[in-house]
Amino acid sequence: MTPDFTPNEWFIQCVGIDIAKSTFTACMCMSNVRERQMSEVVTFSNTKQGFNQLVKWARKEAVKGYPIRFLMEATGVYYESLAYHLYRLKQPVYVVLANKVHDYAKYEGVKTKTDDVDARVIARMGCADRNLYAWEPPAPIYRELKQLSRTYAGLKKVRTALSNQLEAVTHAEETLPSIIKHYERAIAEMDKQIEQVQKEIRKKVEQDSSLSAKIKRIATIKGLGEDTIAAIVAETNGFAFITSRKQLASYAGLDVRAHASGQQDPKRHISKHGNVRLRYLLYMPALVATRYNPSIRLTYERINMRNQNAKRIGVIAAMRKLLLLVYTLWKNGEEYDANKLNPYYKKEVGCICNDLAR
């Protein structure tokens, strides 16, 4: 595709990719400061053959002498194979959260949502945002830990569901004894699987002495266990691409948002736009920390004193505080000491709690 305008030092060409389970659509956008041109939308199979066809098509459409960006959104796990394939070919790969694409589409005034439209929007976004961070695959140990941790969490959810069903049938009128035995056997099997995966997680951590030492040091935070810390580290790829506490809170969806329209006291709540698994991992430890961690308990009680029925806000503040503590100790290599927290960190946590409690 030859652009109708002359490329210059501001010229960018980006392939926007919208991925589904079995196929993906792609569109190339060429842009400089003032002008923009789009290609036709093409569909490929989400297989290695389709990946190679995408690269050949992009090279044919692109202006030679200028790099090609490949931008896609993080759609479950369906994007991973293509991202890894392009990375191995040393192509510039960028992966963004789906909510960022949604926000950009709203900014562009796009109301229709189809695969073709999404590919065009992602391509335009890749040309408009010149500060995208290049995607890199996680380290093998973090990738494996993430798989094990998510399996562990999934098995525990199934185990909880089975326990609830057993509780229900036990109190039902004239339940067959065989049904109760089926549930009991299923729960016993789930317990075995959970224990096995937990052993695999701990064995995987012990394979890396540096990682094991860091996790044990961070586990000095009351309320957090080593398995939970390992899962947090895996979900963040060892905080490899986290550069600030604010960015981390946003990645976990624990950043505070305010909504106001002619109101003196706007409503504030967390965005929930981020890694939902991090919030899931932090919820139960936060409940424990509000009872047994003196520093977090004081924060929790102060919020509850300011607001009636504010226990949920206090727990959210505890979740965020725990996450930032893990990040701080991971970076500075120290053990947890509530009396030696970084002054900036204390100030930031105080602002967070105040925002949530308003």
Per-residue confidence band for 5, with pLDDT thresholds at 50, 70 and 90:
low
- Which of 61-70, 189-198, 306-315, 345-354 is the least confident region? 345-354
CA atoms of 79 and 24, how far apart (whole Å): 9
pTM of the model: 0.80
pLDDT score of 354 more than 90: no
Check residue 319 and give its pLDDT: 93
Bridge partners of 70, per DSSP, are 15, 93
CATH topology of domain 12-128: Nucleotidyltransferase; domain 5 (3.30.420)
Pair 248, 323: CB distance under 8 Å: yes
Q: What mean pLDDT value characterizes the chain? A: 87
Note the residue count of the chain.
Answer: 358
DSSP classification of residue 268: E
CA atoms of 270 and 244, how far apart (whole Å): 18
Check residue 343 and give its pLDDT: 47
Domain ranges within the chain, ordered by starting residue: 12-128, 143-207, 238-259+267-357
pLDDT in tens, 70-91: 999 987 889 999 999 999 999 9
271 vs 87, residue with greater confidence: 87
